Structure 1
Amino acid sequence: MTIKNFQIEYDAINSRNIFTNGDTINGRIILEISKEIRIQSLVFIAKGKARVHFSEHYGLLGKLNPEVEENYRYKQKYYRVKQYILRESRQNGNTIGSGRHVFPFSFTIPDRKLPSSFSSIFGQIIHTLKAKLKQSMMLPRKAKTYFTFVSKAEMNLPGIRVSNILLDISTRQMGYKSGEDLHVTARITNLSNRSVKPKFVLDKKKTYNGGDYIKVDKRDILQDKADSVKSWGGTVTVTKVFNIPKELPPSILVCPIIKLEYRLKVYLDITYAPNLVLKLPIVILPELSDESRLSPSSGSRYEVFESSCEPAWITEPQAIDPPPTYEAAALYPLFPSSDYTSAL
């Protein structure tokens, strides 16, 4: 094979290897050949584009029907910059001797509104550096690499500052009997230019699995609010106490077709921004007839698996310490993106 190696690479400008609007990317195209060749042209191309691609299945009453499928695809281009490293020659071509050749390039990212790099199974936003080599009577050779672009366009919106809201919530335990008090503590750090208002909710979720169709019924049981935490208000700790209603039925977690779950949710109502929500599963214990019923204080243990956040019983009494505080936390970066991320 005459061409032993053909690749494109670039230099990082920071430890995270990310670029933003107006940055200059310096790199090189590397060509290694075993003998002298003639090429028509060598071109550098930089591109930024977005694309979505997914399919939907339709059938009677929305049920899955493999026979009816709709495919959706769409592309959006943001920039395309082309530079000739070796100009195209239609006569004798460009003669390149054997060995390793390095062709430098320099490219400045357009200083205008561009979306940040993104990737999921349904769509991507990609920024690409590409090299294209043409030879007479042969298919073009291509080499490409991707770079990570983080847009600063969204950060220039009015009223937006780079800031954070931190929320930690914890309870004394995870399992409760009807009539017991549920203590929840929220630790809120507001380092933003927006006020936030905490809201506490205990809700009930019923799930019915009918095979092809799943029905979910959600209802709030208890709710309460706390005073707002003002902008740049530092760290505030809020504690609320809920009395578990005596008429609540116990949790159902082991039936594959019917589930009854309880969840403690803490909202942060953020001015002019999506709410931040954290959720903790709460187990309502059954009322047993004798005094040896299982409870966190009598030696049973509750475990939460991170992959599902569902409690698992270990029914054999064990001589262990009382369960630790059950808690969750979320960091809410107030970058003005259309996809705000909350935890759990």
Structure 2
Amino acid sequence: MGKLNAFLITLNNPHLVYFAGQTIDGYVTVELNDAMKMRGVRLQFLGHARVHWTETHQTGSGKNRRTETRHYSSSETYFNFELLLFGPGNDSTHLQAGHHTYPFSFLLPPNLPSSYESHIGNVRYSLKAKIDKPWKFDHKTQKMFTVVSMLDLNQQPSATVAVQGENEKNLCCLCCKSGPIHALFRVDRAGYVPGDTIYLNAEISNHSTRRMKASRVRLIMTTVYHATTKSRTERKDVAMVNKGEISPGGSVTWSGEPMVVPAVPPSYLVGCSIIDIRYILQLEVDPAGPGFDLEVPLEVIVGTIPLRQVVQQYYPMPQPTLSPPSAPPLSQPAGASAPFNLPPPSYAECVFGKVGVREDEDSDHMGGDVDFAPSYAYYDWSKSNVR
């Protein structure tokens, strides 16, 4: 069985979600079946962003032609602090058998970027505990948590403004040019939070002699990763709504079809200089047979503080300031304040799910969280008392 029976980190906030400027508190548990020699029990508080990808390039020519793999990377650190919970640190001592708990508290710095995970880059926050043993393998465990930055839609001038776009395209049918397909696409505002509903309005006219297989609207997260010498762009669908085919000479109207914004990180990833996030709401008309889609893109903003006018639709009466369980009210984090009385959000795991969070410097003996997905504030307006 060994001497170590349990080694883990527990946070007092069950949601594991924090705002910049809030205090993280919890405790480290060490349970031993027998006394253990060690220098101490250490706890590291770590917040950083990293970007890394590889590309294959052909170099040389003829017999000297070869394949070369190039690495592109960058990183930035937001905090890296170590706390000695037990022991002298340099000399050795013994921790006796039994159940031991070591409380801790750490104040998060202000202006941290939101947590983000992908296979190319991440903004990651963690606690890493270590039993520092002389001349032997150290025991290690980690706990991941989410930081959500404040992106207040009420402070974004374009968030309340209706967004509209249109596009037209001519298709070729055999050797003859067919009539155009035309699309007008609009939404009543640009700003949303996870849990919000986007009401989609569009008018599509098919003046061609070709059938359109479908029309659809996609909410696309466009992420730009900045390495030291190059940038890379990644596009992911986060939501989609489809309509049926459009016959030659026909038309279709989207009249407020709903699309719910899932749990995703906020736009811009404010505070991180190596990862940038934008959201595009894109109407697409897909022709049957050869030919590219007709596209009408609109940029929207995903925030963390909802628009006042939206909240008042569901909570029209004055509400007391509420806060998530086991977390300070939204008005308390340093450097940010709620602009009005907010209902409490729930928290939802990122729509893309969990990823592996073991890092290059972590050994195979690292315990605790191996997979993790950030959670984001999610406003489920259907749970309001308004009928």
TM range (shorter): 0.5 to 0.7
What is the deviation of 1:68?
Answer: 3.8
Residue identity (%): 18
What amino acid maps onto 2:127 in structure 1? Answer: L
Aligned partners of 2:160, 2:256: CA distance in 1, in Å? 25
**Structure 2 residue 29 is matched with structure 1 residue 33:** no
**Structure 2 residue 292 is matched with structure 1 residue 330:** no
CA RMSD in angstroms comes to 4.5
The residue number in structure 2 matching 1:221 is: 181
Aligned partners of 1:107, 1:266: CA distance in 2, in Å? 40
**TM-score w.r.t. length of structure 2:** 0.49
Identify which of structures 1 and 2 has the higher relative contact order when contacts are C-alpha pairs closer than 8 Å and 6+ apart. 2
Aligned partners of 2:143, 2:115: CA distance in 1, in Å? 13
Structure 2 runs not aligned, ≥5 long: 60-64, 173-178, 192-196, 220-238, 269-275, 283-387
The residue number in structure 1 matching 2:164 is: 198
The residue number in structure 2 matching 1:143 is: 141
Aligned partners of 1:117, 1:81: CA distance in 2, in Å? 18
Distance 1:197 1:341, change over 3 A: closer
What is the deviation of 1:147?
Answer: 0.6
What is the deviation of 1:220?
Answer: 6.8
Please say if residues 160 and 190 of structure 2, whose CA atoms lie closer than 8 Å, have aligned partners that are also in contact: yes
Structure showing greater Rg: 1
Distance 1:126 1:225, change over 3 A: closer
Please say if residues 201 and 266 of structure 1, whose CA atoms lie closer than 8 Å, have aligned partners that are also in contact: no
What is the deviation of 1:49?
Answer: 0.7
Please say if residues 203 and 264 of structure 1, whose CA atoms lie closer than 8 Å, have aligned partners that are also in contact: no
Cα deviation, 1:104-160, whole Å, max 9, x if unaligned, reads: 1111111x22111111111111101111111222122211110111112x44x9933
Structure 1 runs not aligned, ≥5 long: 162-191, 207-218, 252-260, 268-276, 288-294, 296-324
The residue number in structure 1 matching 2:74 is: 74
What amino acid maps onto 1:73 in structure 2? Answer: S
**TM-score w.r.t. length of structure 1:** 0.54
The residue number in structure 2 matching 1:298 is: none
The residue number in structure 2 matching 1:115 is: 113
Aligned partners of 1:339, 1:48: CA distance in 2, in Å? 19
Aligned partners of 1:20, 1:328: CA distance in 2, in Å? 33
Summarize the alignment of residues 36-185 of structure 1 with structure 2, pairs less than 5 Å apart.
Answer: 36-59=35-58, 67-88=67-88, 90-91=90-91, 93-110=92-109, 112-152=110-150, 154-155=151-152, 159-160=155-156
Distance 1:54 1:241, change over 3 A: closer
The residue number in structure 1 matching 2:368 is: none
The aligned length equals 234
Aligned partners of 2:241, 2:120: CA distance in 1, in Å? 27
Please say if residues 201 and 256 of structure 2, whose CA atoms lie closer than 8 Å, have aligned partners that are also in contact: no
Aligned partners of 1:158, 1:241: CA distance in 2, in Å? 30
Cα deviation, 1:27-62, whole Å, max 9, x if unaligned, reads: 1111111112232121111000111121223459xx
The residue number in structure 2 matching 1:6 is: 7
Aligned partners of 2:115, 2:49: CA distance in 1, in Å? 9
Please say if residues 5 and 30 of structure 1, whose CA atoms lie closer than 8 Å, have aligned partners that are also in contact: yes
Aligned partners of 2:94, 2:201: CA distance in 1, in Å? 77
Out of 242, 245, 249, the residue aligned to residue 210 of structure 2 is 249
Please say if residues 201 and 265 of structure 1, whose CA atoms lie closer than 8 Å, have aligned partners that are also in contact: no
